[in-house]
Amino acid sequence: MPRTIAIGDIHGYLGALTALVEFAGVRADDGLVTLGDYVDRGPDSAGVLDWLIERFDAGQLVPLRGNHDIMFLDALEGGDWKTAWPGFGGDTTLQSYLNRGINPLVDGLPERHRRFIEQDCQRLHVGEEHFFVHAMAHYDMPFDEQPDWLIYWEKWFDPPPHVSGKTLVCGHTAQKTGWPLNIGHAVCIDTWVYGRGWLTALDVDSGEFWQARENGETRRGWLDEVPPQTGT
């Protein structure tokens, strides 16, 4: 049976992403929902975007937009993030393009990469029993009224159950324990791949999850077996 698999904040870690998908045994009929923050901090943001675009064009991927993806485009356009962006991991994103002979600050971003972030990526995604956002959502607001500052920027705050009755699946707030944070009606799967943590993929229906690091190390588990935690 096809699965719906959510993947947390990737942050340029293409090696961890490819190891994770192989370890989880992702099939062509599985649906992938990626929670944003594809760029910054890791060694190959450009490669991550290529990987995502290939799956999106094949009809397998629902990609969300993260705050780092927004910062990236704003910096390249000379916006408010231009000066600060390198210090938030943008220096490694820039280097991943320079390694390809492209300077996006001078040449602009490859058109397909820009279109993916601007047009193909969504603010949020609503499934039958779950809804997916990059950062956070307000519990008593309809999905189409959620404000950008919550969707893209707000840190985890132990949200109450959403009025829809659907389970929230999010990233953005790095869980420095390396384990997903699960409070039943909400789950955070940003498990700090850019630090000493892991990149996480979650089968949202079964609760099984898989994790990988850039060096190929892997492990797996179940949400109901993760020790109780508080958001970090």
The helix-helix angle for 14-23 and 45-57 (nearest 10°) equals: 40
Tokens of 229: 């935690």
Residues near 120 by Cβ (< 8 Å), separated by ≥ 6?
53, 56, 63
Sheet strand arrangement including 4-7: 61-63, 31-34, 4-7, 199-203, 208-212, 218-222
Segments making up each domain of the chain, as ranges: 4-225
Q: Provide Rg for the chain, Cα atoms.
A: 17
- The pLDDT tens digits along the chain (232 residues) read 899 999 999 999 999 999 999 999 999 999 999 999 999 999 999 999 999 999 999 999 999 999 999 999 999 999 999 999 999 999 999 999 999 999 999 999 999 999 999 999 999 999 999 999 999 999 999 999 999 999 999 999 999 999 999 999 999 999 999 999 999 999 999 999 999 999 999 999 999 999 999 999 999 999 999 977 655 5
Helix (H, G, I), strand (E, B) or coil at 64: strand
Q: What pLDDT, on the 0 to 100 scale, is given for residue 50?
A: 98
CATH code at 4-225: 3.60.21.10
pTM of the model: 0.97
Answer left, alpha or beta for residue 228, where phi above 0 means left and psi between -120 and 50 means alpha: beta
